[in-house]
Amino acid sequence: MRTYLLLLFLTFRLYLTAQPFFLYPGDTNNDGVCNYLDLIPVGLAYGDQGPRRPLPANDWLPVPFQPWTGPLPPLPASELDRAFANAYTHQGTSGLDTVNANDVLILQQHYGEVQSPSAPSFPPPTDYLALLPEFPVTPPPAIRIRFSADTVDVLDTFYAHIEFTGTDTPDPAYQGVMAIGLRLKYASINVEDMPPRILFDTLSTDLMGLGATYEQAVSDRSPLPGKDTLELAVSGYRNPAFLTDRPVAAVEYIVDLIIRSNAADTVYKPFWIEFVDVVLVDTLERRITGVLAHSDTVVLRQIITSAGEPEWQQGIRLFPNPARDHFTVSAPYGLLLDRVVLFDARGRELRRWKGPLPGEKMGLEGLSQGWYNVEISTERGVLWRKLTLL
């Protein structure tokens, strides 16, 4: 068996040396897509030096390169894996001869792009996470999400703090965590008009970060983080940056609107973030398994009042109301309407008008009798009115 493996390895090496190598700049882990996980090889190889690529191109195309032979993290996998690691993991993706912050810029530039099946890299792409050796740690470290408040109101800003919790495992092989990669999902409906922002700890000099939201990933790239998805990674510079408790990143949300689903004066909606993928890697490129992930819940609140409204709000009315085939919004002179949105009693958005003029007719064709909620956004704020359709 060993002889067979050795033969296989030697044949493979011969094959490698006879073939030119190609990589997609930014796909540092060669899994076929440029995304947050590509920050991990950059962290592992930070500061490494090797031969410059013959062409300095950083376009999203397979470009030729020469494998580096310099020091590599001592992968505990087979020699075959080491050859692969040499071929794809530890390249200066920017085309420079040192792995440095420029490589993170290339990741941002190509975020979300996928390798073309007709022009794959060589060696061909592999499942990066499946190649990582597993390292179970007991008790395990944890990733926790903590919201900045228990309850927040419409138009409030709130933060999801993502935190690493260290472990006091007696395992002498555990040296801490070098990089953390997270894919997170959340219910976007009450925060969708204002995309979240991912905030990294820019004061720390031992960490780099990479994140993507649907706003940052433009539409001609695929696969995108969806409207309800966040992807982010943080990594130390070859060092185990996460040993004791420390913040990973924060996500800033703004409560946009809450849809009124009944006649109550105040609406409450829970909001939370789910972990889809949690990847913790150490400086030996081992994936730490058994990691605990805890999420938190925040309550979004909207207080709907008509009594005691400011004067400018009192002047905003729906007419006619009850309505038959259309309605208009009357507003105090000079107040501009940004947006009018119609919701049914179950909170589903039905129609949306951008920048209507006061008095402009908004059609209700095809809608059934009953009551509806109308959200009116103005330059001075947002308010709600109830509309009855006969």
Which residues contact Ca ion (rule: CB under 5 A)?
A: 27, 29, 31, 38
Nearest-approach distance from CB 40 to Ca ion, in angstroms: 9
Shortest reach from residue 106's CB to Ca ion, in Å: 12
Q: 31 vs 282, which CB is nearer to Ca ion?
A: 31
Q: Which residues contact 192 (CB under 8 A, 6 or more apart)?
A: 227, 256
Shortest distance, position 70 Cβ to Ca ion, whole Å? 21
Closer CB to Ca ion, residue 88 or residue 271? 88
Q: Are the C-beta atoms of residues 374 and 386 closer than 8 Å to each other?
A: yes
Please report how close the Cβ of residue 90 comes to Ca ion at its closest, in angstroms: 14
Report the residue number, 38 or 282, with the smaller CB distance to Ca ion.
Answer: 38
Distance CA 284, CA 73 (A): 6
Is there a contact between 29 and 131 (Cβ–Cβ < 8 Å)? Answer: no
Q: How far apart are CA 289 and CA 138, in angstroms?
A: 9
CA gap 366, 51 in Å, rounded: 67
Element containing residue 108 per DSSP (H, E): helix 101-109
Nearer to Ca ion, 33 or 316 (CB): 33
**Strand 317-319 to 157-165 pairing:** unpaired
Which residues, other chains included, contact 78 with Cβ-Cβ below 8 Å and sequence gap of 6+? 5, 9
Residue type, 118: S
Task: Decide whether 222 or 306 has the Cβ nearer to Ca ion.
Answer: 222
* Smallest distance, Ca ion to C-beta of residue 28, A: 6
Cβ nearer to Ca ion, comparing 35 with 377 = 35
Instruction: Write the secondary structure of 55-93 as one string of H (helix), E (strand) and C (coil).
Output: CCCCCCCCEEECCCCCCCCCCCCCHHHHHHHHHHHCCCC
Nearer residue to Ca ion within complex by CB, 88 or 174: 88
According to DSSP, residue 36 is labeled G
**Smallest separation (angstroms) from Ca ion to the CB of 76:** 22
Least distance (Å) from Ca ion to the CB of residue 30?
7
Q: What share of the chain is helix, strand, coil (3-state, %, to 5)?
A: 15, 35, 50
From the CA atom positions of the chain, what is the Rg in Å? 27
